[in-house]
Chain A
């Protein structure tokens, strides 16, 4: 038994080394106190885990600043795992009371907010017209996907989808890095040229079906009008509409023609596909403008001078064909059970204020939803291009964010089946349409 004893001793030693001060279990006991007394605001997010850099550091600094400005309020920032976030949130919501559960929660844009409104406080009384005006992305945090509807969350970061390309590889294949292929015909030719020099056209990660989703979002401006999108959500336009068929046909064309890198179907979009692009295995990458898989990460790894940026290659000319989709990357909401909704909103407004919008761009390297940031502070050439596009309003909402989660899931899986030859574009969209109709029928039955 000596070794066992030794092991137990070891574990005990680790315990002692691990917790120099045994902290008592601290539960939120301040909840019942009136708003004027000292209080603790519990904030949940999936970014706070790493307080040493990026969004985590930015938020930690903001918490301390907020506490200095509001000495009676203590911020209890709880880092939650991103993967299990909504399971934990659902359980907390099912049994929440003012004494328990977070006051402020980070949520993804779109259906994640609007499907969870039973657990949230409407922010109508707090969001002033001025505040509304300087922040973008309300269309994915407000009732009915209407930017002027009841606000359920405040967008903090802006996300968007743009196409990145590797200038060095384009040069290698005999193409002009200053004139990226903007038409569909040129784009296909460029992919062929890359194959000619032993590289792939596009770095694609389709393991989760996300790439198809992104492609559809990036390309839908060419065939669909803004009204079409509204009709689609309302069920007036069908998923089997020729305008949507056309987009999926292009997706299939890219795959059939061999534009994807090898093993695209089992490659995770994050981080593997982006890494393949950074390694120079493929010339193009449909990426983000904030957070990861974006200009900052690519610039650091590849050198900003080797990176180019463009919008979706155009297969169908139209007034909006060079737009790119944007939406809130993440947003903060106040929970329904929070005993301090006003202070909770004050905290969110503090996070979203002008000064923090600027530090979000300069320190984190992501685009803030608050548009009052100082554009002069941007030094990265690609970020400058994006900021310019944002300023000239070359953006539109994403298409699939507004679909119910279940419809999006079906769409992604059916796209995977199209790309692996298990189904046709028509049959795939028929399946998506069926899901959309079932979801709508259930909604009607429920209300």
Chain B
């Protein structure tokens, strides 16, 4: 039994305070989604709903075609996350534990490609996708997503792999393991928290990304969920309760995935820690 110190109590109070600021807006959003537009606009903007209604959720489900688009989103995001894991771990392993001429230069080149503002490459990128016949295809969007996640992911994994002692790698090399085996058997298990972190980040932004999805997937049959939700905004974002409901529906899968990953994350942190 740990002694409860004043410091601990102060720390918990601080943490509770911060949690309130993150939970309140979400509660506000849920309240809003449960109100009729009339109640939200005329009577009760900030309080809990006086006449809770599921009407917004039903409408958002139908109008943003959640049922229609969610499968597309799942395909794009799941494949995107997995491919990104593969691409980034390979690159990060090379950058952190292999030696070859130009390593530093390549690291900075990858880092630099993170800085390109998306707005200036929209048109050339679109033209490129047409040349490669990737327009209106999930593969096109997935490749673009994985590319955009590559500098961030490679950098993230590199910074974790670097803190793994190189002796571990050398020991495995002495045992005759090939680089791919070392990566798979030695590095990745240790770096599980980092991989999960990358997975969460990629899942999140790929799920929420709108501009490239709109641009690349223009046929209704291949569109992703955020496009449907964004359409709820309409020309003048008139119906805030409806929009809140739509965004809530869109966020639900992400929350589920996070809570599952988070328990993995917690486990990874105690089990996988370097001794």
Decide whether A and B assemble into one complex.
Answer: yes
Selected contact of A91 from candidates B70, B71, B123, CB within 8 Å: B123
Q: Which segment of A44-52, A189-197, A402-410 sits at the interface?
A: A44-52
A49 contacts B232, C-beta separation under 8 Å? yes
**Does residue B53 face the partner (Cβ distance < 8 Å to A)?**
no
**A278 CB-CB contact with B under 8 Å:** yes
Query: In the complex, what distance in Å separates the CA atom of A428 from the CA atom of B135?
Result: 45
Q: Is the CB of A78 within 8 A of B220?
A: yes
How many residues of B are counted as interface, with CB atoms below 8 angstroms from the partner's CB atoms?
54
Q: Which residues of B contact A174 (CB under 8 A)?
A: none
Q: Does A379 contact B (CB under 8 A)?
A: no
Q: Which of B22-49 contact A (CB under 8 A)?
A: 38, 41-42
Taking a contact as CB atoms under 8 Å apart, the answer to whether A11 and B221 are in contact is no
In the complex, the answer to whether B215 meets A91 with C-beta atoms within 8 Å is: yes
Query: If A10-B256, A49-B231 touch, does A18 touch B126 (CB 8 Å cutoff)?
Result: no
Is B122 part of the contact surface with A, judged by Cβ < 8 Å? yes
Q: Answer yes or no: B164 CB below 8 A from chain A CBs.
A: no
* A88 on interface, CB distance cutoff 8 Å: yes
User: Looking at the complex, which one of B123, B235, B264 makes contact with A4 (CB distance below 8 Å)?
Assistant: B264
- In angstroms, Cα B66 to Cα A15, docked, is 11
Whether A271 pairs with B236 at a CB distance below 8 angstroms is yes
User: Is the beta-carbon distance between A7 and B257 smaller than 8 angstroms?
Assistant: yes
Taken together as a complex, chains A and B put the C-alpha atoms of A92 and B136 apart, in Å, by 12
A:75-118 near B, CB below 8 Å:
78-84, 87-88, 90-92, 94-95, 100
Measured between beta carbons, the chain A residues less than 8 angstroms from B256 are 7, 10
Chain B residues, Cβ within 8 Å of A52: 59, 62-63
> Chain A nearest CB: distance from B83 CB in Å?
16
CB-based contact A81/B210 at 8 Å: yes
Q: What CA separation (Å) do A292 and B235 show in the bound complex?
A: 9
| Cβ contact within 8 Å between A49 and B63 | yes
Say yes or no: is A27 at the interface (Cβ < 8 Å to chain B).
Answer: yes
| Distance (whole angstroms) from the CB of B163 to the closest CB of chain A | 25
> Is B67 touching A18 in the complex (CB atoms < 8 A)?
yes
What 1/0 mask marks residues of chain B from 194 to 215 whose CB sits below 8 Å from any chain A CB?
0000000000000000110011
Docked pose: A52 CA to B62 CA in angstroms: 9
Query: Is residue A270 within 8 Å, beta carbon to beta carbon, of the partner chain?
Result: yes
A25 at the interface (CB under 8 A from B): yes
CB within 8 Å of B: which A1-56 residues: 1, 3-4, 6-8, 10-12, 14-19, 23-27, 46-47, 49-52
Query: Which residues does chain B contribute within 8 Å of A16, judged by CB atoms?
Result: 71
Using C-beta atoms within 8 Å of the partner chain, give the interface range for chain A.
35 or more
With A78-B220, A81-B233 already in contact, the answer to whether A15 and B70 are too (CB < 8 A) is yes
The reply to whether A25 and B210 contact each other, CB–CB distance below 8 Å, is no
Q: Tell me, in angstroms, the Cα distance from A291 to B210 when the chains sit together.
A: 25
Q: Is A275 an interface residue (CB 8 A)?
A: yes
Inter-subunit contact B260/A6 (CB<8 Å): yes
B260 contacts which chain A residues (CB < 8 A)?
3-4, 6-7
Do residues B136 and A27 form an inter-chain contact, with CB atoms below 8 A? yes
B131's nearest neighbour on chain A, judged by CB, is A95
Q: Is A293 an interface residue (CB 8 A)?
A: yes
**Contacting pair B75 A271 (CB below 8 A):** no
- How long is the Cα–Cα vector from A84 to B226 in the complex, in angstroms? 13
Q: Is B227 an interface position by the 8 A CB rule? A: yes
A83 x B233 contact (CB < 8 A): yes
Q: Is A185 an interface residue (CB 8 A)?
A: no
Check A23 against B238 for contact (C-beta < 8 Å). Answer: no
- A225-267: CB near B (< 8 Å → 1, else 0) gives 0000000000000000000000000000000000000000000
Residue in chain A with minimal CB distance to B123:
A94
Q: A26-B221, A49-B234 are in contact. Are A17 and B67 (CB under 8 A)?
A: yes
Q: How far is B253's CA from A119's CA once the two chains are assembled, in angstroms?
A: 40
Does A279 interact with chain B (Cβ within 8 Å)?
A: yes
Contact between A84 and B211 (Cβ–Cβ < 8 Å)?
yes
A256 to chain B, nearest CB (A): 29
Residues of A within 8 A of B228 (CB): 49
Chain B positions 171-230 with a Cβ under 8 Å from a chain A Cβ: 210-211, 214-215, 218-222, 227-228, 230
Is the CB–CB distance between A25 and B219 below 8 Å?
yes
Number of A-B contacts (CB under 8 A): 137
| Structural contact, A271 and B220, CB atoms closer than 8 A | no
Set of chain B residues within 8 Å of A78, measured between Cβ atoms: 218-220
Q: Does residue A301 face the partner (Cβ distance < 8 Å to B)?
A: yes
In this complex, what residue of B is CB-closest to A28?
A: B219
Known A-B contacts A7-B256, A18-B70, A52-B62; the reply to A100 vs B41 at CB < 8 A is no
Query: Are A15's CB and B75's CB within 8 A?
Result: yes
* B137 interface residue (CB < 8 Å to A): yes
Shortest distance between the CB of B251 and any CB in chain A (Å): 14
In the complex, the answer to whether B70 meets A14 with C-beta atoms within 8 Å is: yes
Complex Cα distance, B17 from A125, in Å, reads 68
Q: How far apart are the CA atoms of A151 and B218 in the complex, in Å?
A: 28
Tell me if A14 and B71 are in contact (CB < 8 A).
Answer: yes
- Given A271-B240, A278-B41, A301-B41: A15 touches B231 (CB 8 Å cut-off): no
- Residue pair A81, B235 in contact (C-beta under 8 Å): no
User: A271-308, CB under 8 A of B: which get 1 and which 0?
Assistant: 10001001100000000000111000100010000000
Residues A82 and B219 in contact, CB atoms below 8 Å apart = no
Q: Quick one: which of A23, A26, A88, A275 contacts B41, CB cutoff 8 A?
A: A275
- Which A-B residue pairs are the 9 nearest by beta carbons? A49-B231, A270-B236, A18-B71, A19-B71, A7-B260, A23-B221, A15-B71, A18-B70, A91-B126
Interchain residue pairs with CB less than 8 A apart (23): A3-B264, A7-B256, A7-B257, A12-B74, A15-B70, A15-B75, A24-B221, A26-B221, A46-B234, A47-B234, A50-B231, A78-B219, A87-B122, A87-B211, A91-B122, A94-B127, A100-B130, A270-B236, A278-B42, A279-B41, A291-B235, A292-B235, A301-B42
Task: List 14 additional contacts besides A10-B256, A84-B230; criterion CB under 8 Å.
Answer: A12-B74, A15-B71, A18-B66, A25-B222, A49-B64, A50-B231, A81-B231, A82-B234, A83-B233, A84-B211, A87-B122, A92-B126, A100-B130, A271-B238
